[in-house]
Structure 1
Amino acid sequence: MKPGLLLISHTYAALENRKKLQALGAHFDLVCVTSTLEQRMVLGRPSSDFDSENDAPVRSYQLIRLPRRGRTDTTFLYEGLGDIMRARRFDVVLVENEPWAFVRWQAWFWKALLQRQALFGEFTWENVERPGWKGAVLAAVYRAMTGTTHFIIAGNQAAARLVQKRGARAVDVLVAPQLGVDLGNHQPASPAERAALREACGLPAEAFLVGYCGRLTEEKGLRELVQACESMKNVQLAILGSGKLEGWIKEQQQQRAWLHLLPPRPHFEIPNFLRCLDVFVLASKPVRSMTMCWEEQFGHVLIEAMACGVVTLGSSSGAIPEVIGDEDAIFPHGDAQALAERLGQVMTNGGPMARRQLERTRTQYTHDAVAAAWAGFIQTKLAA
């Protein structure tokens, strides 16, 4: 009989992300609580582009949607969560959110009251410490979190170090991705497929094509990416997404025929964009201030690009080096010249790197591989 797992996370309001749940359902009698279908904009697109009930007939788990009460992803509560915990017995309750998130403490309260026999776990991405008074307050929050969990899954190595610094035992912490990648729709394109995909995107068929997709913000290193490509010959750059730098990119596009800005797309269309590319670049750089303190926590698009057989380069920021796992693919963040040098090396001979990265994705980053890592760790905690 499979252990009962209650997983609480707004992440699975996205249809593509629920493929991980399908894999996790092979290991657990799984109930997932996520958010109700919402009417809002996500990356410049209606949220309905990212979520639907199309997967309902084939789910290996139970999905329960609850309304959110609160403004942001860390300041909301789920209406009716207590009723879910009253309804049946669970062996494990696991929340995917940060230590200071309201829903994390809401879930812990109901677990302590109604599911005393269950283990309580948390998945966290946070990989930086805040300066000043915010850091002091969060240090206390972290100690409270580590004191009220049986296990922690950390989305990167820095997150694992952070929770251990605040009281978690190393044996109770697993470093693993939150999500994997679907190899069914992320796979290398043949030359003919790539040409057709480029034509559909309005991109040049024969050019050496560098690309990025995601949020168009300062911390994603887009200025350095444009600067690096500008210093090279016979390179085209395609950027897909929306965000605060969209206006700046449009201005640059007017002066540079080699720069292409594409509108945002829903999850299921992203693989076709990635399969157009010769190189994908995530040039993120850290931000440190009282208003924003951030480094790349994983960069899921990295493993999506790698799964598509596209050479994938990343900066030295945050978790990017450990995700890519290839020193030859890493350049110092904020250094456009170093990025241009990496691009030049790939233009000369990028095939071996692409093959290494594809194999890494197939062995470590599929939904099945991520689910198996989570399940093996949780089951050792249940057996302890």
Structure 2
Amino acid sequence: MSRPLRLLTLGHSYVVGTNRRLADAMAQAGAGWWEVTVAAPESFPGDLGPIRLAGFPGERPRLEPVAVHGAGRIHTMRYGSRLRTLLREGWDAVHCWEEPFIAAGAQVAAWTPREARLVYATFQNLPKRYPPPFGWMERYAMRRAAGWIAFGATVHATLRGRPIYRDRPHRVISPGVDVARFRPDAEARDRVRAGLGWAAEGPPVIGYLGRFVPEKGIALLLRALADVRHPWRVLFVGGGPMEGELRAWAAGQGGRARVVTGVRHEDVPAHLNAMDLLCAPSQTTVRWREQLGRMLLEAMACGVPVTGSDSGEIPHVLGDAGVVVPEADGAAWTREIGRLLADSDARATLAARGLARVQAEFALPVVARRHLEFFEELVRG
């Protein structure tokens, strides 16, 4: 019997256990076929302080802590020498969850032995040209790469025409969602609503999950809600610089608005279940458009109907399982929110479609197999 293929998957995002669920799913899907190891920072700066690397119960891959330097600025972050040593351990494939145009991505290209198939994963969905030295790093890393993974259709559309990407094997594969953790849960819905001081039954709850920043469309959502005539409650979950503005607005809503910050990721499924409709009104800027909308996948997995703007990847994530609204059309947002609040059957239909779409396209076992199949194609030549 031939030996299992050996995969090293690495990235600074892996310091958070939730982000390692993809690697864990690859280890499960590849049992007896792939041997998976994860390299993750020992510590990484977070919004509320340093995040320390810790395993989670039942985590399958071998977990290797590595040092990072200069992590406060991601473009110039560098890995310590432990990763260089680890990369010499005879891997068949190295999966780098770092952008190829940053210093850490170029480091991995320089340190990965030639016999290993190096694959980058990228979220870059804007047609950028990077100044020196970052453009040089990108070209160097992609010349070394055996292939690349686009984390979405807009990423693929943006990069596929550039020679350094076009001439390398590539696939469009989502990071996916853990459907064992994100699932419909009526008990959690009632518990969270009670904790917010709301009755389990009552006006539908509109939800927002994510960063409190202008490009996420919060101001547009507040304007749209002012004109919705159907009764509603609204729950904002997240954090960011617009928190003060949101809290001031919520204070004038007579108890029908709540702003919740500091929610641990393991508590996100319960808060999603407390919503009857998730709104993702992301707004494209010169420097940003929605790259994935992880909250869309998580909400659909929880059986929550979703309406999102047409910014970036959102229409590709939703397909026919959600309502897509022109991102800058406030009147359309008011109209669609009001229509869905008034029509529980339409919400139920969207919820069912969302669950089916997630199970077929975005569940971690599905995307894990797609990753491993691509890696094997590259290894087998």
Q: Same fold (TM over 0.5)?
A: yes
Distance 1:129 1:135 in 2: 13
Go from structure 1 to structure 2 and tell me whether the alpha carbon gap of 1:170 and 1:370 turns closer, same or farther (over 3 Å shift): farther
Q: Which amino acid aligns with 1:256?
A: Q
Question: Structure 1-normalised TM-score?
Answer: 0.89
Q: 2:105 is matched with which residue?
A: 104
- Displacement of 1:259 in angstroms is 2.3
Aligned residues: 366
Q: 1:284 is matched with which residue?
A: 282
Distance 2:155 2:134 in 1: 14
Q: 1:3 is matched with which residue?
A: 5
Distance 1:47 1:360 in 2: 36
Q: 1:195 is matched with which residue?
A: 190
**Match 1:238 to one of 235, 238, 250:** 235
- Residue 251 of structure 1 pairs with residue 248 of structure 2: yes
- Displacement of 1:76 in angstroms is 1.0
**Match 2:332 to one of 338, 347, 350:** 338
Alpha-carbon displacement from aligned partner over 1:68-96 (angstroms, at most 9, x marks no partner): 1012233211112211123x211111211
- Displacement of 1:341 in angstroms is 1.7
The secondary structure found in structure 2 opposite 1:83 is helix
- Displacement of 1:52 in angstroms is 2.8
Q: 2:169 is matched with which residue?
A: 172
Alpha-carbon displacement from aligned partner over 1:96-146 (angstroms, at most 9, x marks no partner): 1212111111111011xxx2211111000010023xx75798666544443
Go from structure 1 to structure 2 and tell me whether the alpha carbon gap of 1:336 and 1:264 turns closer, same or farther (over 3 Å shift): farther
Go from structure 1 to structure 2 and tell me whether the alpha carbon gap of 1:352 and 1:33 turns closer, same or farther (over 3 Å shift): same
The secondary structure found in structure 1 opposite 2:87 is helix
1:1-384 map, 5 Å: 1-26=3-28, 27=30, 28-38=34-44, 40-42=45-47, 45-46=48-49, 52-55=54-57, 58-70=58-70, 71-80=72-81, 81-86=83-88, 88-111=89-112, 115-130=113-128, 134=130, 142-167=138-163, 168-169=165-166, 172-178=169-175, 180-190=176-186, 193-205=188-200, 206-233=202-229, 234-257=231-254, 258-288=256-286, 293-326=287-320, 329-347=323-341, 348=343, 349-384=346-381
CA contact (8 A) 2:53 2:65 kept: no
Go from structure 1 to structure 2 and tell me whether the alpha carbon gap of 1:137 and 1:64 turns closer, same or farther (over 3 Å shift): closer
Q: Which amino acid aligns with 1:378?
A: F
Go from structure 1 to structure 2 and tell me whether the alpha carbon gap of 1:327 and 1:365 turns closer, same or farther (over 3 Å shift): closer
Distance 1:170 1:25 in 2: 29
Gapped regions of structure 1 (runs ≥ 5):
none
Distance 1:141 1:335 in 2: 40
CA contact (8 A) 1:213 1:240 kept: yes
Distance 1:134 1:51 in 2: 31
Go from structure 1 to structure 2 and tell me whether the alpha carbon gap of 1:317 and 1:138 turns closer, same or farther (over 3 Å shift): farther
CA contact (8 A) 1:142 1:163 kept: no
RMSD: 2.2
The secondary structure found in structure 2 opposite 1:7 is strand
Q: Which amino acid aligns with 1:315?
A: S
Distance 1:342 1:259 in 2: 19
Alpha-carbon displacement from aligned partner over 1:196-241 (angstroms, at most 9, x marks no partner): 3311233443121101111100000001111111111301111111
Go from structure 1 to structure 2 and tell me whether the alpha carbon gap of 1:170 and 1:352 turns closer, same or farther (over 3 Å shift): farther
Q: Percent identity?
A: 24
CA contact (8 A) 2:103 2:134 kept: no
Go from structure 1 to structure 2 and tell me whether the alpha carbon gap of 1:262 and 1:345 turns closer, same or farther (over 3 Å shift): same
Question: Structure 2-normalised TM-score?
Answer: 0.90
Gapped regions of structure 2 (runs ≥ 5):
none
Go from structure 1 to structure 2 and tell me whether the alpha carbon gap of 1:197 and 1:108 turns closer, same or farther (over 3 Å shift): same
Distance 1:327 1:183 in 2: 16
Distance 2:261 2:182 in 1: 20
